[in-house]
Amino acid sequence: MAMLLRSPFRPTRAAMMRRSRSADLDRPGQQPSPALLIQRHPPLPKRRTFLWRTSMPWVMWPLLLKSRTFPHFLMKGKTVSAAFTSKGLRNDFARNILWTFEDIHMLVGSNMPIFGGGRYPAVSLRLRDNNKPINVLTGIDYWLDNLMCNVPELVMCFHVNGIVQKYEMIKTEDIPHLENSTFSTRVVKDIAQNILSFLKSNCAKEGHTYWLFKASGSDIVKLYDLTTLCEEAAEEKCQNPFTLPVAVLLYKVASNMMKKNQNRKHYGTIRTLLLNCIKLLDQGRHPQIIASANYMLSELFQLDESPEEISAESFRGGGSEDSYSEEEDEEELPEDSDENSSYSTCSDPPDISRAVAVIKSVVELSVPEKYKYTDQIRPNYAFPFSHDKEERCRHVLSYVLKGLKAVDSSIKKESDLPAADPNTPIPLKYEEGSDSTGQNAVEKEISLLLDRGPYQEDIKHPTRSGMIPGSWQHRMKLQLFLKASKAYYVLSEAATNLLKYGRALRYIKLALQCHDAYCSVSSSLHPEVLLFHSQCLSLCGDIQLMLAQNASSRAAYLEEYNYQTKEDQEILHSLHRECSCQAFNMATDLAMDPEYQLFVSCKCYEAAFELLTSSNLKTQRPNQLAQVLKRLGNIRNEMGVFYMNQAAAMQTEKEVKLSVSAAEQEMWKKSFSFFEKGLKDFEAIDDSTNVALLLCNTGRLMRICAQAHCAVSTDVSRGEFSPEEALYYNKGIDYYLKAMKSLGTREGHEAVWDSVNWELSTTYFTLATLLQDYAPLSRKAQEQIEREVTEAMMKSLKYCDLQTESARQPLYQYRAATIHHRLASMYHSCFRNQVGNEHLRKQHRTLAELHYGKAVQLFLSLRDAPCELLRVQLERVAFAEFQMAGQNSTSSKMKTLSGALEIMIETRHAFQLIHKDLLDEGKVTIVGDGSETPGPESSASAGISTQEVQKLIGVFEPSFSFLLLHLVKLMTTSKRKPSGTKEEEAVKIYKQIYSRLLRADKASPLVHRVALYLELLEQLSHQSDCNDNVSSP
């Protein structure tokens, strides 16, 4: 059993040791820890008041160790040093009580809840398992708590698995006489008084540090003066015989706390212990302990958890059956207090009498306001927690670097060792209990703590740095390299999320270099290491892909990539002691060529996939394997698209397309190969959406191949639709149909479904259009071509989704209208050219009228296609005129011409849209002096083409004149006189309109001519309405 006492008025390297909770001592066979740290203060007056703080009572000196006191001293209960207050010290005790024990005054801090009311003004409450009896230690614990807080009674609440069984009221003076917990209060007081008196009389030198030690099984307590324990001089560290045992004590406690207490709230205490352990040791003599302590410090910073999880766990505490827990009273050194802090005194210490509870009666014990105190009295030691991942990683890397330096300093090559003198015997020490034997035992124990993980080393020869396989240096470097690699991986991942891809590539390069060094000193790799390596390669692939897709910011990325901190350089220097770290240079170089970056990204994913499918990892992490396969399929799709775009660019650059170049074919092969591999990757993980996307891209590649086989001569006129074009278009259709089949239905992947549906409709439409416009009459009959065109057009129409509201709905409507227009034009042409077969001519006429009508309906629903609407209407008029030419009777001709005139009147809607667009585009033009003048109507706009309007007007005007002229002739022939006044008025109006058309100025502005046509059509529309009203019954 040991106790370290120290003065608070000088900086010390020793740390405040923590003990287990008192509940832990209730376990059978549980023994108290053999060491405890308390504080010793400067000499006091004859009647001195001591303050100390500890964690739990000991049988040996229960009073001394039970009291939870502050690191101050009181002079007759009135004053206290302000040295701690000036250092940001805090008080988190529920109450502070000035307690007189024999001739000693103590300021006691307690967190025990006190309840009261009615017949019981002040009681303490304890929860106990009904199946566990109260032992001596627990009884002393309860008795001292009530005694210090002057609480007269204790209420025991017994439960079984959380269900309350009974309550029992026990007076404080009866606690020492409980069953299984009987002890002598007089003995406890005598032992405590003796120890306190012994300490007061012997710990008399201000600023000195003392070690109170009791060996296991011994009745003798020894006090050692460790004045020079924490001196800065290295030689003093070496001369002090207690430096190593105390440092090892700190290390072992920290190690045990890390193993037993996974709650992050203990990390501040662990960090304090380890930092003080490092300060006590000389790196040249104890590099193993220092390296291990630094590694444990790096382990305190969690790299794989989100800030929300860390924040939640930082304030999560464990429960206890007692009213308080020692784990809640943790002390953690602030970061700046570990090296440079010192306690300072104040000439005018303030009065802190508020810290002492003034309790006039027992009733007031249950009133918290009577002893509430908010002044900061004890140190606030905080673990350097940060929500910033980069800051946490930098802490980890700083400790890793210190650990690596400690390991490197202990490794000596054979050339560095002094040559042995053959005439000098080698000294063999057999002294029992010597310091060296104790140190060797400590070193051996530390090495056991370092041996983590199932590493089976097969390397028999020293490493590049001279490190012996299986040594503690070897095991420690393995852990430090792996920790550094993980820290750099997290840094790279964070930089990727911030779109800092140059920085991300630099960090992942360092992570892979650490892994390379790890592999160079390890002959076999643990599966977890292989899994982490696959994650690094996957992240590297992600970064290279993003660099390829963001080529415009390459200069900024290059600047980020070339920057390097001094810490990174020193870690890299330590890595180079073991290997050249060149294994992953290709994967982590910042190239300027997007194609090379895509290639590197693909290779990284392939390497990660090979790792995950190796024999060691085949059955582990199926989710990670699926993610890598998805990334692999994605990069292969990206490369396929890249080469496909390269092939399309080659086609655009060619002025004359006489044949397909070898370079184009090579691009097709590469693109198709990557698409095929990507399909297999997505099919392996049943990703139907991405399978459909790759099939869609493959279909697009087939269309590009078809376009490349389109022969264009020097006069920019293309020939007939070739068989190669048809072959590739049909292949593209097959891939699109497979994509539709892969998706199944639109539900669940609407965007992909709509995209594939549109591409399929487009391919059918393009195939039909080329067959119709560049018919291969040299190879096929006209009727066969017409059937193929009709079939392709109808299939394209089938995939025009006119019902679903989406961004493509206007495009679908326009395409459907165009399909109907083209089919109507084709049947119109067949009707004109068909001779002899009246049944077939009648069928063609019916189909032409049907498709013309549907085209007009669809174009009327679109407000941005007036030219197309006007063209369809003019074709309908021409179709009627052609039918009239074949008719013999006057009545039939009159009926056909009247129908054609009605169609002509319907063109008014198209002319209204054209007139509005012409006015909108030519309203105002800013001239040089800044004044506004009407703009030229002839200028083209994004809405309509004035040249197209001019051509359509060139067809409209003569057709309109032709209809009016023939109607007037038929209505005024000698054989047929006008029947009634209305017909005479109609003939008169027809003549007036015809006259105005003849006198119209052909050189007038386009907008004026369109306005004239609108006026004439309006006049005709009014006349037609009047005729309809007269004819109706």
What single DSSP character describes residue 860? H
- In terms of DSSP H, where are the helices of 322-470? 389-410, 435-450
- List the end-to-end C-alpha distance of the chain, in Å, as a whole number: 123
| Residues contacting residue 133 through CB under 8 Å, at least 6 positions apart | 179, 180, 181
H and E: helices and strands count for the chain: 31, 16
Please list the rounded mean pLDDT of every run of 10 residues in the chain (1033 residues).
43 30 33 33 32 33 38 31 39 74 74 84 89 86 87 90 88 88 84 78 74 74 64 48 82 85 74 89 86 91 60 39 33 35 35 44 57 46 63 91 91 49 44 41 36 42 75 89 93 93 94 90 82 91 93 90 91 88 84 90 90 77 87 95 93 75 91 95 93 95 91 69 92 95 89 93 94 90 92 94 88 94 93 82 92 94 90 93 85 89 91 89 43 40 74 91 88 64 82 88 88 90 62 43
Do 74 and 80 meet the contact criterion of CB atoms below 8 Å apart? Answer: yes
3-state secondary structure (DSSP) of residue 225: strand
Q: For position 981, what pLDDT does the model report?
A: 74
CA distance 69 to 444: 38
Q: In the block, which residue shows the tokens 């560290």?
A: 237
Q: For position 760, what pLDDT does the model report?
A: 95
| Residues contacting residue 629 through CB under 8 Å, at least 6 positions apart | 609, 681, 682, 684, 685
Q: For position 64, what pLDDT does the model report?
A: 40
CA distance 53 to 74: 15
Cα 760 to chain centroid distance, Å, stands at 36
Residue closest to 95 by CA, chosen among 62, 69, 66, 122: 69
Q: Pairing relation of β-strands 89-90 and 153-160?
A: unpaired
The DSSP secondary structure of 928-981, one letter per residue, reads TTS-EEPPPTTS--SS--HHHHHHHHHHHHHHHHHHHHHHHHHHT-TTS---SH
| Residues contacting residue 295 through CB under 8 Å, at least 6 positions apart | 399, 400, 403, 450, 476, 479, 480, 483
Distances (CA, A) of 166 to 130, 138, 158, 162, 337: 9, 19, 5, 12, 49
Q: Which amino acid is at 499?
A: L
Q: In the block, which residue shows the tokens 């989704």?
A: 801
Q: Which two tokens stand for residue 44?
A: 């006091």
Beta bridge partners of 1010: none
Q: For position 592, what pLDDT does the model report?
A: 86
Do 469 and 460 meet the contact criterion of CB atoms below 8 Å apart? Answer: yes
Torsion of CA 154, 159, 165, 170, to 10 degrees: -10
Distances (CA, A) of 1023 to 982, 987, 1019: 9, 11, 6
Q: Which two tokens stand for residue 915?
A: 């007139």
Q: Which two tokens stand for residue 55?
A: 């964690």
CA distance 174 to 155: 12
As a whole number of Å, the CA-based R_g of the chain is 48
The DSSP secondary structure of 714-749, one letter per residue, reads TTS-B-SPPHHHHHHHHHHHHHHHHHHHHH-SSTT-
Residue closest to 376 by CA, chosen among 91, 51, 86: 91
Type and span of the H or E element at 181: strand 181-182
| Residues contacting residue 422 through CB under 8 Å, at least 6 positions apart | none
CA distance 845 to 314: 84
Q: For position 214, what pLDDT does the model report?
A: 74
Q: For position 3, what pLDDT does the model report?
A: 52
CA distance 542 to 605: 9
CA distance 345 to 83: 5
Distances (CA, A) of 113 to 151, 323, 366: 11, 7, 8
User: Percent helix, strand, coil in the chain (nearest 5)?
Assistant: 55, 10, 35
Q: Which two tokens stand for residue 910?
A: 């198209």
3-state secondary structure (DSSP) of residue 109: strand
What single DSSP character describes residue 1005? -
Kindly report the backbone phi and psi dihedral angles of residue 210, in degrees, each rounded to the nearest multiple of 5, phi listed first.
Answer: -120, 155
CA distance 40 to 51: 8
Q: For position 730, what pLDDT does the model report?
A: 95
Q: For position 645, what pLDDT does the model report?
A: 94
3-state secondary structure (DSSP) of residue 182: strand
Max Cα-Cα span within the chain: 152
CA distance 411 to 302: 30
- What is the torsional sign of CA 799, 801, 802, 803? positive
Q: In the block, which residue shows the tokens 């001094």?
A: 566
CA distance 488 to 511: 5
